[in-house]
Amino acid sequence: MDQLHKRFTVEQIKVLFQGYCQGLMTSDEIEKMLNIGKTHFFALLKDYRQDPQAFSIAYQRKTPAKLSVNAEAEIKKELLREKELVEDRELPISSYNYTALRDRLKKKGIRVSTTTITKRAIALDCYKPHRKGKPHDREVLTAAIGALIQHDASLHRWSPLSQEKWTLITSIDDYSRMLLFADFFSEETSWSHIQAAQKLMQSFGLPLRYYVDNLRVFRFVQGRDSVWRKHILETDDIATQWRQMMALLGVDVTYALSPQAKGKVERPYRWLQDRIVRTCALENISQIDEAWAVLKDELERYNNHQVHSTTGEIPRIRFEKARKAGNSLFRPFSLPKPYTSPKDVFCLRTTRVVNGYRRISVSNHEIKVPKVPLREDVELHLVPDTLKEAMEIRLWWNKIMVHSVSYPLKEFRLHF
């Protein structure tokens, strides 16, 4: 369809708008005559009412027809840098990301479309055709925020300049597709996943259900019996540290039966991996605290600016709309009785028996236990503090905290 200024004169449009303002014609009639939509109609009407004499429908280009020499040079520079990353076999990057390149140019004040970048990429041999992926289910299965939190971790060399791998732990709300938690950890442990859950729950509330894989942190899975070994404990006969915490808070846990079932959280991982690795390589980032700033920028983009391909909405806007409408299954966070401190909920648990000297032993430390009968079981709540490099041990017996003591964290060789 030709543009409006090629099909009608300015005077013809003025006559139609004059008829509308006098009540002689309706907006629907004019829209059909001009073959335009309601939004376009009212935008033109606004211009007409502001100044009928100066009203014009002449086409005006909003962007320059030709890129400047400086812009062309920057595009070429970024494309060649991108090519070096793609061709580096040590990096987990196998394709070009022109959207990320466009965003980097935008930070430099150069606004250009991905189509233009793609054309320049083909001319510079910085292009790879996209492989057709297998179809997958992108359906939103939940009807409210907080109904299902997809939780996962990815151990990866997030910066090609770092000699160490870091673990990225994320939690995504299924309904809104908003990333409610994302952070780097030096290693993946039960404690790191407990910390992730604590921050999410204290920020948003208690969700109805978590969706995780069969990693040993989340679930005790026993293999099959053999002629050499007869297993006594079956799957789920042992509650992991993470599962004990969830049970205490009344949050259900569902386990994915296959890697494909975790697709909704795996796709954001691939998106974050592609962006973060690229940025760390291009900005010479090698430390985990520096990479956190990169992660923060990508979370801001994903949650607050990027329209999700499945929902058709920006994740945070969809989340806030559901929250304001009361379409939420998040419960207010509260401590279960008899606990009065989050330390006794978000902690590592173990038990010891009080010996004849009214003491217990933990990692070669003898701890005196007052007011507890001999041979009684005492529940220990261990709370590591990596910043203070301390391990707080809180002793509970008969639903009462009877003692608390702290030791240097380095003296504990327990791997949680």
- Say what the pLDDT of residue 267 is: 67
> Does residue 310 sit in the same domain as residue 349?
no
CA separation for the pair 328, 11 (Å, rounded): 54
Q: Between 89 and 186, whose confidence is greater?
A: 186
> Which tokens hold the place of 318?
């969809």
Number of H helices, E strands in the chain: 12, 11
Count Cβ atoms below 10 Å from residue 405 Cβ, excluding itself.
13
Cα(197)–Cα(86) distance, rounded to whole angstroms? 35
- Which pLDDT score is estimated for 336? 94
Range of the domain at 311: 149-216+254-324
Distance CA 182, CA 300 (A): 11
Give the pLDDT band of residue 22 (cuts 50, 70, 90): confident
Q: Classify residue 248 as exposed, middle or buried by CB count within 10 Å of its CB (0-12, 13-18, 19+).
A: middle
Q: What is the DSSP string of 63-127?
A: S-SS--HHHHHHHHHHHHHHHHHHH-TTSS--S--HHHHHHHHHHTT----HHHHHHHHHHTT--
Given pLDDT bands bounded at 50, 70 and 90, which one contains residue 304? very high
Same domain, 274 and 375: no
**Does 237 or 302 have the greater pLDDT score?**
302
Highest mean pLDDT pick, 116-125, 152-161, 268-277:
116-125
Going from the C-alpha of 137 to that of each of 145, 261, 344, the distances in angstroms are 19, 9, 40
pLDDT surpasses 60 at 78: yes
| pLDDT score for 369 | 92
pLDDT of the residue at 401: 94
- Whether 281 and 397 map to the same domain: the answer is no
**Residue-level pLDDT at 72:** 92
Q: What integer is the mean pLDDT of 302-323?
A: 91
The mean per-residue pLDDT over the stretch 112-135 comes to 83
Give the span between the Cα atoms of 71 and 75, in whole angstroms: 6
The pLDDT mean for the chain works out to 85
Same domain, 172 and 299: yes
- Looking at the fold, whether 280 and 354 belong to one and the same domain comes out as no
The answer, yes or no, to whether residue 410 has pLDDT greater than 70, is yes
Q: Among residues 292, 246, 274, 271, which one has the least CA distance to residue 151? A: 246
Residues 27, 77 within the same domain: no
Q: Structure tokens of 411?
A: 């003296």
Contact by Cβ (8 Å): 153, 172: no
C-alpha to C-alpha distances, 279 to 55, 73, 292, nearest whole angstrom: 47, 20, 12
Radius of gyration of the chain (CA): 30
Look-up of token digits 């003491």:
359
Give the number of domains in the chain: 4
What per-residue confidence (pLDDT) applies to 411?
83
pLDDT band at 234 (very low <50, low <70, confident <90, very high): very low
Q: Bridge-partner residues for 156, per DSSP?
A: 166
| Res. 84: pLDDT tops 70 | yes
> Above pLDDT 90, what percent of the chain?
43
Mean pLDDT within 226-245? 62
Which residue reads 């691939």 in tokens? 270
Q: Tell me, yes or no, whether 301 and 407 share the same domain.
A: no
Q: Inform me whether the pLDDT recorded for 64 exceeds 60.
A: no
Residue 61 has pLDDT above 60, yes or no: no
| pLDDT exceeds cutoff 80 at 30 | yes
- What mean pLDDT comes out for the span 211-225? 66
DSSP codes of every residue in 242-274: HHHHHHHHT-EEEE-SSGGGGHHHHHHHHHHHH
- pLDDT of 63 reads 54
Dihedral sign, Cα of residue 253, residue 254, residue 258, residue 263 = negative
Residues in the chain, total? 416
Asked whether residue 63 is domain-assigned, the answer is no
Q: Establish whether the linkage from the previous residue to 338 is cis, with ω within 30° of 0.
A: yes
What is residue 160's predicted lDDT score, i.e. its pLDDT? Answer: 81
Query: For residue 83, how far is the Cα from the chain centroid?
Result: 27
Q: Say whether pLDDT at 157 is over 50.
A: yes
Q: Are both 170 and 318 inside the same structural domain?
A: yes
pLDDT at residue number 60: 57
* Residue 246 lies inside a defined structural domain of this protein: no
Which residues are CB-neighbours of 310 under 8 A, at least 6 positions away?
Answer: 138, 139, 140, 177
- pLDDT confidence bin for 134, thresholds 50/70/90: low
What is this structure's pTM?
0.71
Domain identity same for 21 and 164 = no
Segment 332-373, tens digit of pLDDT = 999 999 999 999 999 999 999 999 899 999 888 899 998 899
**What's the rounded Cα separation, in Å, for the pair 184 and 2?**
53
In this prediction, residue 10 carries a pLDDT of: 86
Q: Are residues 287 and 173 in the same domain?
A: yes
Q: Distance between CA 59 and CA 337 in Å, rounded?
A: 69
Could you tell me the pLDDT band of residue 414, with boundaries at 50, 70 and 90?
A: low
Q: What is the mean pLDDT of the segment spanning 17-43?
A: 88
Question: Does 229 map to a domain?
Answer: no
Is residue 230's pLDDT more than 90? Answer: no
CATH of the domain at 294: 3.30.420.10
- Residues 160 and 41 reside in one and the same domain: no
| Tens digit of each residue's pLDDT (9 = 90 or more) over 251-303 | 999 987 655 555 555 566 677 878 888 888 888 898 998 999 999 999 999 99
